Amino acid sequence: MRKAIVETATGKVLNVIEIEPDGDGGFDHWICSDGCELRDGDTANPGATWNGSEFVLPEVPIPSRLDVLMSEGPATQVYNEETNAMVARPADDIAADKAELLGLLQTKLADTGDLTWEQMNKMLALERES
Paired with 24 in beta bridges are none
**What is d(CA 79, CA 87) in angstroms, rounded to the nearest whole number?**
6
The pLDDT tens digits of the residues spanning 38-93 come to 898 889 999 999 999 999 998 889 999 999 999 877 888 889 899 999 999 999 99
Is the pTM for the entire model greater than 0.75?
A: no
The pLDDT tens digits of the residues spanning 1-16 come to 898 999 999 999 999 9
Residues 101-110, mean pLDDT to the nearest whole number? 96
Q: Which of 18, 20, 91, 13 is CA-nearest to residue 46?
A: 13
Banded pLDDT at 31 (limits 50, 70, 90): confident
Instruction: Supply the DSSP symbol for 25.
Output: S
For residue 5, give Cα distances in angstroms to 16, 73, 129.
6, 40, 54
The pLDDT tens digits of the residues spanning 115-127 come to 999 999 999 999 9
CA 88 to chain centre: 28
